Amino acid sequence: MGMSYHKRRRDVLKTVGVAGAIGLAGCAGGDGGDGSDGGDYEQSLAVLDRVDRESDIYTKTSLMLGVGEYDHEVYRTLGDLREVGVDVVTFGQYLQPSRSHLDVFDYVHPDVFETWRAVAEEEFDFLYCASGPMVRSSYKAGELFVEALLREGRSPEDARRHARAAGGD
């Protein structure tokens, strides 16, 4: 291979955030709750698209639920992410980091997270989706999935099972 496994894993899984809590800056209240614009949705998609076109790395991004998003917005975002080549997506519960940040609109039921996981993997064909109230953008299961896929040569389905078992999904 010529390159250490750890360097390869680091180079393969890059996380690029999508603007705003769920990537819908204009639809989810405009900003991240801290007075900044949280980035631009189209600009974020352009970065993800460029990474997909100009490299051979897997890309992962995360969506936080519970800020007042509508199902059709999340669905559209998933479609946009697949269109620009994102491979791995995670869903987590937005938690207000301080009083100066956007309020939590809703605490999302665990069944909803499972529904979005199924939609992401089965309908949109993401390689992997970690989804649950305690999942964060840095969720270890994404790395476990890539490790199982690359180092162990598992199929995407086996890599998903491995990551879920090891990550407690």
pLDDT per residue over 107-141, tens digit each?
A: 999 999 999 999 999 999 998 898 999 887 665 66
Within 13 A of 131's CA, how many CA atoms are on the CB side?
23
Question: 127 - beta bridge partners?
Answer: none
- pLDDT for residue 156: 77
Q: Is the pTM of this model over 0.85?
A: no
- pLDDT for residue 108: 96
> Among 48, 44, 49, 36, which residue's Cα sits nearest to residue 19?
44
- In contact, 64 and 108? CB cutoff 8 Å: no
Q: Where are the domains of the chain?
A: 5-167
Stretches where the chain sits below pLDDT 70 are: 1-39, 137-142, 144, 167-169
